[in-house]
């Protein structure tokens, strides 16, 4: 579900019109820009889903992940968790935030960076579980979490991160998240450091965690092929804004926004796992697009109209999809 149009009590994790403004200094000049703007979506309780968030480099994907994980606070808008709006103020809320962190678990990009190279893996797993106040996990709990990712405690006991492969480490970091029994995983490009065959096994794992354990996943990726394979819904981000969102099969088989169309067209066909070509976007273009008036894709859009440069389009509903483009008036 990609809009907050269900009642808040039914939401396990969501964003309600969230924007994040950063200040960037260039010499004496301070520039403010919205890294993300007016982002809304809601994952529902008892209705596990995989929500893909895609967009080229610098589109605000990690900013969304950090806000969901409470590593950043929104400038405007609110995070919804477990049926309630999260606020920063009261002590009680802060206590809930601790609980929140165990219910919404991160899976990071770099499995090698996740672990302390000087500590045996099983010790690290025990420590992180204990830090979420679930107590020291028993061997059974550890073994069961490891089995869910295709490993076992006996396989990893006493071993150091350097002795394991990237794919194994990424599975262990998913097991670490599972020990504290989360409702949602927030996975920010979880397979960007592993090869193509491991990519498939990691995304298959997300699919099976959803199906067997009812865990929802916010799956942030550059890889449209794997997004299509495992996700239920998709948000396409451009310069911090949702340009198109809805059920994944609708968006990827009949993309409406020219940006989504260009993303799909730029995947080289013989190797569907390939990233689209990011190199056409340089820093100058990023800055121009983030700060320009009207539609931020106007300079690159093949279907640009005169009004696109003057006015910022609202989202329109076309069948089951929402698209932020004047073409659908
Ligand atoms: N702490 C910060 N201060 C200033 N600008 C930031 C900060 N964090 C991110 N940004 C900027 O916000 C924009 C979005 O960044 P973000 O990391 O969310 O993009 P992304 O989609 O995750 O990119 P990538 O695919 O390269 O990981 C970028 O222009 C980035 O430079
Ligand atoms: Mg990122």
C-beta 223 within 6 A of ligand 1: no
CA of 240: how far to CAs of 57, 58, 243, 281, 286, in Å?
Answer: 11, 8, 9, 15, 11
Distance 283 CA to ligand 1 centre (A): 12
Angle in degrees, 0-180, between the axes of helices 139-148 and 196-213, rounded to the nearest 10: 120
Distance 152 CA to ligand 2 centre (A): 31
Distance 239 CA to ligand 1 centre (A): 10
More confident residue, 327 or 197: 327
pLDDT in tens, 245-261: 999 999 999 999 999 99
Residue percentage of the chain with pLDDT more than 70: 88
| Spatial distance between the Cα atoms of 257 and 164, rounded to a whole number of angstroms | 43
Mean pLDDT across 61-87: 93
Q: Where are the domains of the chain?
A: 8-328
Closest C-alpha to 62, from 158, 181, 152, 187:
187
Residue 309, pLDDT above cutoff 90: yes
Q: Quick one: tokens of 193?
A: 């450091």
Q: Tell me the average pLDDT of the chain.
A: 88
Mean pLDDT across 169-197: 89
Listed ranges 22-26, 152-156, 279-283; the one with the highest mean pLDDT? 152-156
Nearest ligand by distance to the CA of 287: 1
| Spatial distance between the Cα atoms of 91 and 197, rounded to a whole number of angstroms | 46
Which atom number of ligand 1 is nearest to the Cα of residue 237? 21
Q: What is the pLDDT of residue 21?
A: 96
- Residue whose Cα lies nearest atom 5 of ligand 1: it is 22
Q: What is the pLDDT of residue 4?
A: 60
Say which residues have a Cβ less than 8 Å from residue 128's Cβ, sequence separation at least 6.
Answer: 176, 179
C-beta 57 within 6 A of ligand 1: yes
Mean pLDDT across 41-61: 95
What superfamily in CATH does domain 8-328 come from? P-loop containing nucleotide triphosphate hydrolases (3.40.50.300)
Distance 36 CA to ligand 1 centre (A): 9
- Residue whose Cα lies nearest atom 26 of ligand 1: it is 57
C-beta 221 within 6 A of ligand 1: no
Residues around ion ligand 2, judged by CB within 5 A, are 61-62
Q: What is the pLDDT of residue 71?
A: 87
Which residues is 51 bridged to in the sheet? 218, 233
Q: Is the pTM of this model over 0.95?
A: no
C-beta 63 within 6 A of ligand 1: yes
Nearest ligand by distance to the CA of 288: 1
Block residue for tokens 């066909």: 269
Distance 292 CA to ligand 1 centre (A): 17
Q: What is the pLDDT of residue 200?
A: 87
Q: What is the pLDDT of residue 137?
A: 81
C-beta 216 within 6 A of ligand 1: no
| Spatial distance between the Cα atoms of 311 and 319, rounded to a whole number of angstroms | 24
Residue percentage of the chain with pLDDT more than 90: 60
Please say whether the beta carbons of 146 and 178 come within 8 A: no
C-beta 35 within 6 A of ligand 1: yes
Q: Quick one: tokens of 158?
A: 């006493």
Which atom number of ligand 1 is nearest to the Cα of residue 55? 21
Mean pLDDT across 90-118: 75
Reported confidence tier of residue 6, pLDDT bands at 50, 70, 90? confident
Reported confidence tier of residue 270, pLDDT bands at 50, 70, 90? low
The DSSP line for 175-241 is HHHHHT--SEEEEESTTTTS-HHHHHHHHHHHHHHHHHH--EEEEEES-HHHHHHH-SEEEEEETTE
């Amino acid at each position: 579900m990609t809009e907050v149009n269900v009642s808040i009590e039914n939401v396990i994790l969501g964003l309600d019109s969230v924007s994040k403004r950063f200040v960037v200094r260039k010499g004496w000049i301070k520039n403010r820009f919205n890294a993300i703007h007016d982002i809304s979506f809601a994952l529902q309780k008892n209705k596990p889903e995989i929500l893909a968030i895609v967009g080229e480099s610098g589109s605000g994907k990690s900013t969304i992940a950090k806000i969901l994980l409470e590593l950043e606070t929104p400038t405007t808008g609110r995070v919804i968790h477990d049926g309630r709006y999260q606020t920063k103020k009261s002590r009680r809320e802060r206590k809930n935030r601790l609980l929140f962190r165990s219910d919404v678990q991160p899976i990071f990009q770099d499995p090698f960076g996740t672990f302390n190279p000087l500590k045996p893996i099983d010790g690290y797993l025990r420590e992180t579980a204990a830090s979420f106040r679930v107590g020291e996990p028993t061997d059974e709990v550890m073994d069961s979490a490891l089995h869910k990712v295709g490993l076992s405690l006996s396989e990893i006991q006493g071993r150091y991160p350097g002795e394991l492969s990237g794919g194994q480490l990424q599975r262990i970091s998913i097991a670490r998240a599972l020990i504290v029994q989360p409702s949602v995983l927030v996975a920010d490009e979880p397979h960007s450091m592993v090869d193509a065959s491991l990519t498939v096994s990691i995304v298959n794992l997300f699919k099976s965690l959803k199906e067997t354990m009812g865990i929802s996943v916010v799956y942030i990726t550059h890889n449209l092929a794997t997004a299509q394979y495992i996700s239920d819904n998709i948000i396409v981000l451009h310069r911090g804004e949702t340009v198109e969102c809805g059920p994944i099969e609708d968006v990827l088989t009949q993309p409406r926004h020219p940006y989504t169309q260009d993303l799909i067209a730029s995947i080289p066909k013989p190797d569907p796992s390939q990233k689209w070509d990011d190199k056409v976007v340089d820093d100058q273009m990023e800055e121009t697009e983030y700060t320009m008036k009207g539609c931020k894709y106007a300079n690159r859009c093949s279907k640009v109209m005169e009004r696109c440069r003057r006015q910022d389009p609202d989202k329109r509903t076309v069948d089951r999809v929402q698209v932020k483009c004047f073409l659908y008036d």
